[in-house]
Amino acid sequence: MNAADLGLPVDVPSTALFTDQYELTMLQAALQGGTADRRSVFEVFTRRLPEGRRYGVVAGIGRVLDAVENFRFDPGVLGFLRDQGIVDEPTLKWLAGYRFSGDIWGYPEGEVYFPGSPILRVEGSFAECVLLETVILSILNHDSAIAAAASRMSAAAGGRRLIEMGARRTHELAAVASARAAYVGGFDSTSDLAAGFRYGIPTVGTSAHAFTLLHDSERDAFRAQVETLGRGTTLLVDTYDVAEAVRTAVEVAGKELGAVRIDSGDLLLVAHRVRAQLDELGAKNTKIVVTSDLDEYAIASLAAAPVDAYGVGTQLVTGSGHPTCSMVYKLVARATSADPKAPLIAVAKKSVGGKVSVGGRKWAARRTDEEGVAEAEVLGTGPVPPELAERQLLVELVKGGDVVAREPLEAARTRHFEARAGLPMSAIQLSRGEPVLSTEYV
């Protein structure tokens, strides 16, 4: 099952109002001024990576495709715009028939990106493209930030399993998007059932401290859980005394106990003690899961600990300190008239203070060294050099308004692992540093 089968995660009439008012006022002025039909090219990019990050992760492409398909101005939406006096009647009439009919190219989901990378390229009339700015940016900025944090945590985990469990630390819909982005970035499962239902992400979960506290004794709680969920369940052992809880857990479930979870204390020290105790009790195959405000640095610090899985919440769904990627959506080329045959000319904002843009409809390729390791992100507006023809990054996502590149989420996750593996080894260092690849314009 995929997102296209299920539709939106909430019952909303469309995605058309996931936008800023100035997009509609620009549309009205362009319609009246005769420039609305000029062929235009918009690009999504970021001028810099979040401080200390060495690469970005493209996430949310699948959600963008859903949002573009559902960008419709139905009678209720049009009535709201009319009642609020946001646009005039001719503009409302135009919006009533809105369907994106242009083309979208972009980095495939799971790919890595760098400053200046044309992550998404939206082509069509000015009118139809300008309306998509906010919904595209809101999805890509959020999901890519979560995926980048997840990727760093995945690299730090070194193959140990990762559980996304941040639903209670963010907006209920952001939680679903976060779980999806985390899966792209390397997490293995989620505690959020809505994410499992909508995207097919494996879900996990057993019990909280409240379940233990409900019972007259910890033994009673463990017995009830094991009798209901089986010996392979995960028992939470830090409600009272960890050592006593581990002993009780093995007595109740036997050596076949699936796992124990530790949610507090000095995780490094406690994990070593619990592992030793489990081994002494004969439960050598029982796994240890740790939670408690983990981030990539805490995960890395536990590399030497006998931990089998990490559960991460707050730091993951907030981007581990960087909840947005600062992506922008800029017009980079437009036709000289509404004539479909009119040539495109490059356009760009001229600004001081670091907000400089590079005009022109761009291609992107990743140059590698003789061993296949990436060494530069190469961008250009002219012909693609022959040696980079097979290294181009943008793929066609929407053609003539129709989605042509929807794919299973698993494909994006696999692509990310491959893309990250193709970067220089310094990419996964947690120490602060510059982007691991430079961006070159040719």
Q: Give the model's pLDDT for residue 356.
A: 73
Mean pLDDT of the chain: 95
| C-beta neighbour count of 400 within 10 angstroms | 10
CB 104 within 8 A of CB 118: no
CB 122 within 8 A of CB 41: yes
Categorize the per-residue pLDDT at 354 as very low, low, confident or very high, splitting at 50, 70 and 90: low
Categorize the per-residue pLDDT at 4 as very low, low, confident or very high, splitting at 50, 70 and 90: very low
Categorize the per-residue pLDDT at 16 as very low, low, confident or very high, splitting at 50, 70 and 90: very high
Residue positions counted in the chain = 442
Q: Give the DSSP letter string of 40-98.
A: EEEEEE-SSPSTT-S-EE---HHHHHHHHHT----HHHHHHHHHTT-S-HHHHHHHHT-
Q: Give the model's pLDDT for residue 357.
A: 81
Whole-angstrom distance, CA of residue 379 vs CA of residue 365: 7
Of the candidates 353, 422, 366, which has an alpha carbon nearest to the alpha carbon of residue 47?
Answer: 353
pLDDT at residue 10 is higher than 90: no
Q: Taking residues 119-146, what's their average pLDDT?
A: 98
Whole-angstrom distance, CA of residue 61 vs CA of residue 120: 9
Please identify which residue in the block is written with the tokens 């090219």: 41
| pLDDT tens figures, 234-246 | 999 999 999 999 9
Whole-angstrom distance, CA of residue 68 vs CA of residue 19: 12
Categorize the per-residue pLDDT at 94 as very low, low, confident or very high, splitting at 50, 70 and 90: very high
Q: Give the model's pLDDT for residue 183.
A: 98
CB 335 within 8 A of CB 342: yes
| pLDDT tens figures, 57-81 | 999 999 999 999 999 999 999 999 9
pLDDT at residue 335 is higher than 60: yes
CB 216 within 8 A of CB 192: no
| pLDDT tens figures, 358-397 | 999 999 999 999 999 999 999 999 999 999 999 999 999 9
Of the candidate ranges 4-13, 208-217, 376-385, the one whose mean pLDDT is the lowest: 4-13
Angle ∠(18,313,44) on CA atoms, nearest 5: 35
Adjacent-strand bridge partners of 190: 164, 203
Q: Give the model's pLDDT for residue 11.
A: 46
Q: Give the model's pLDDT for residue 9.
A: 46
Whole-angstrom distance, CA of residue 226 vs CA of residue 111: 42
Categorize the per-residue pLDDT at 83 as very low, low, confident or very high, splitting at 50, 70 and 90: very high
Q: Give the model's pLDDT for residue 8.
A: 45
